[in-house]
Amino acid sequence: MKKQRDYLAKRAVLYARVSGDDRGKEGRNLIGQIEMCREFAQDRGWSIIEEIAEDDRGASGASFELPELSRIIDMAHDGAFDVMVVREIDRLSRKLAKQLIVEEELTRNGVEIAYVMAEYDDTPEGRLNKHIRATIAEFEREKINERMVRGRRQKVRAGSVLVGKRPPFAYRVVEKDGMYALTIHEPEAQIIRLIYTWYTIGDGDTGPLAIRAIARGLNEMGVQTPQNGIMKGKKWGHETIRRFLSNETYAGKWTYGKTRRGKKNSPDKHLSVKVPAIVSAEVWRTIQVQLIKNRKNSAKNARHEYLMQQRLVCGKCGNTLRSIAQARQGYKAYRYYSCHGRKLKVCDLMSGNSSKIDEIVWNWVKSIVLDGKALEEGLDSYQEECEVQSGPLRERLGVVMDLIANNEKQLDMLLDLYLSGDFTRDLLTDRKSRLETTIVALEKEREKLIASLDAATFTPSQLDSIREFANDVAKGLDIANQDFKKRKRIVELLNVSGALADEDDKQILYLRCILGQDFLPVETPAISG
């Protein structure tokens, strides 16, 4: 079939991408890129089978998680096209390692990559030029990010706040001469002062209120929740109250640079801007001490255990069930799994007795692992399924390993080329530096892929833990039954999850794990409160 295609027009896929730092620039918008690629392909008589445009919307060209590019790679595996047309290298990637990996995956499937803005011969010199251009693209990407960060920090040092379209609750943004400042929005500021007063002094009838009590009080009063799109139309919750009590902006200090690429920055990287205070700094500091103290006490006093916490969903509306303990006057505190939609009056699923549900789940887990043959077959089947799903990762890892070996081989050959007189010392130094940079980038990708593969399958120690548990159950040992942490560990390893539903005035528990699935009745009455 491949030979037959040589006599036909090449099938071309056009690919265009824009990222946050170049959106709107001439020649880099999606329509402009596609038009250039289309003209390029038509001039060569290629048959265009698809035009694919990717707007990453905040993702990175350095990421493999670009859906359209991933789809093109899948199409290449299926032999759906012969050549991919891209405007230039940095449209494919601004990261050298990714550019090499993607090109290698496509090439291995018989796909040619054609760049409109430059031609790279399949020779050592051509590959070197391409690597140089990719390195420059990666360098440009890092410099763009660096300039953006530096520009923001300069604005903050000059006294400007950078909160975009979502200023902190109780504030509004005002702009003057390109500088941005916060101003107090008094109707919402009154709510902040009320929250701080209730937490430190109380509501006049009792002493200081707990965070959940504050949220309940605001809901009972009908106080409007923040209308920034996060809580719009919802009720006050304890997480929102805690966030407001922890926000130093309300004490007159707005801070920039707390995080960088999703990670916490050290305090020396923080920049602060003085803003109008809603509460005093002394009150705010007192509250921080109390919050830490309460958090420690809460962890110390946590006496309720939920085997299926965050593992059950509502069979009616699909929401994750909450794990709640509540005491009623004259009765012992009870634990249950409850749909949050019930509290908001948008779902009527009856709450389930968590003790009984956890008992049902645990007995079900034990019944599965007691059958040794079924257990081994289930584990083997799951591992095989994981192997299939992780196939693309393994293939990409193989590509990376080959690229590393190839670049290391070129590095070893450099000295021979220099001694033979084919390379000057300057050229040798430059080439050596670029090869070492490439190898380092590829090794980073290798480590990421290995970590992803490890997460996708059971490790030998995890399999041993499951088998050890099965042996203990089979021998009648009661170790896990007496140890909640061990039960929880087994539930996590088997990835037990489920749904709670009301059917014919009864509650039914639908369960599944990596070894199978089942549905079981909850024999005790549902909790109506």
**pLDDT given at position 473:** 65
**pLDDT given at position 59:** 45
- Give the number of other Cβ atoms within 10 Å of residue 226's Cβ: 18
**pLDDT given at position 122:** 61
C-alpha–C-alpha distance, residues 91 and 99, integer Å:
10
User: How confident is the model over 292-298, as a mean pLDDT?
Assistant: 68
User: What would the pLDDT profile of 307-321 be if each residue is shown by its tens digit?
Assistant: 888 889 888 888 888
Long-range contacts of 438-441 (CB under 8 A, 24+ apart): 438/96, 438/97, 438/100, 438/131, 438/407, 439/404, 439/407, 439/408, 439/411, 441/95, 441/96, 441/97
Q: 171 or 385: which carries more pLDDT confidence?
A: 171
**pLDDT given at position 2:** 44
The distance from CA 81 to its chain's CA centroid, rounded to whole angstroms, is 32
**pLDDT given at position 51:** 94
**pLDDT given at position 192:** 93
Range in 8-22, 110-124, 415-429, 431-445 with the lowest mean pLDDT: 415-429
Range in 255-264, 281-290, 340-349, 350-359 with the lowest mean pLDDT: 255-264
User: What would the pLDDT profile of 391-410 be if each residue is shown by its tens digit?
Assistant: 777 888 888 898 888 888 88
User: How confident is the model over 138-159, as a mean pLDDT?
Assistant: 67
pLDDT at 244 over 90: yes
User: What would the pLDDT profile of 434-466 be if each residue is shown by its tens digit?
Assistant: 788 888 888 888 888 887 777 666 677 777 777
Q: 385 or 68: which carries more pLDDT confidence?
A: 68
- Give the number of other Cβ atoms within 10 Å of residue 216's Cβ: 15
Helix (H, G, I), strand (E, B) or coil at 116: coil
User: How confident is the model over 68-96, as a mean pLDDT?
Assistant: 84
First to last CA, the chain: 68
What is the pLDDT confidence band of residue 111, given thresholds at 50, 70 and 90? very high
Q: 276 or 227: which carries more pLDDT confidence?
A: 276
User: How confident is the model over 206-233, as a mean pLDDT?
Assistant: 75
**pLDDT given at position 42:** 92
pTM score: 0.45
C-alpha triplet 278, 284, 286: angle, nearest 5°: 150
User: How confident is the model over 83-93, as a mean pLDDT?
Assistant: 82
How confident is the prediction for the chain on average, in pLDDT?
77
**pLDDT given at position 332:** 60
**pLDDT given at position 60:** 44
C-alpha–C-alpha distance, residues 337 and 323, integer Å:
5
**pLDDT given at position 48:** 94
Q: Are strands 259-260 and 263-264 parallel, antiparallel or unpaired?
A: antiparallel
pLDDT at 125 over 60: no
pLDDT at 142 over 70: no
Q: What strand order describes the sheet that includes 112-115? A: 47-55, 11-18, 83-86, 112-115
User: What would the pLDDT profile of 5-40 be if each residue is shown by its tens digit?
Assistant: 444 689 999 999 886 555 445 445 888 889 999 999
Q: 427 or 248: which carries more pLDDT confidence?
A: 248
pLDDT at 229 over 60: no
What is the pLDDT confidence band of residue 211, given thresholds at 50, 70 and 90? confident
User: What would the pLDDT profile of 245-267 be if each residue is shown by its tens digit?
Assistant: 999 999 989 887 776 655 676 77
Cα maximum dimension of the chain: 95
C-alpha triplet 251, 257, 261: angle, nearest 5°: 140
**pLDDT given at position 153:** 75
User: What would the pLDDT profile of 463-508 be if each residue is shown by its tens digit?
Assistant: 777 777 777 766 654 666 677 887 887 788 778 888 998 887 788 8
Percent of the chain with pLDDT over 70: 74
**pLDDT given at position 305:** 81
Give helix 372-389 / helix 354-370 axis angle, nearest 10°: 100
Q: Which of 245, 320, 325 is nearest to 288 (CA)?
A: 245
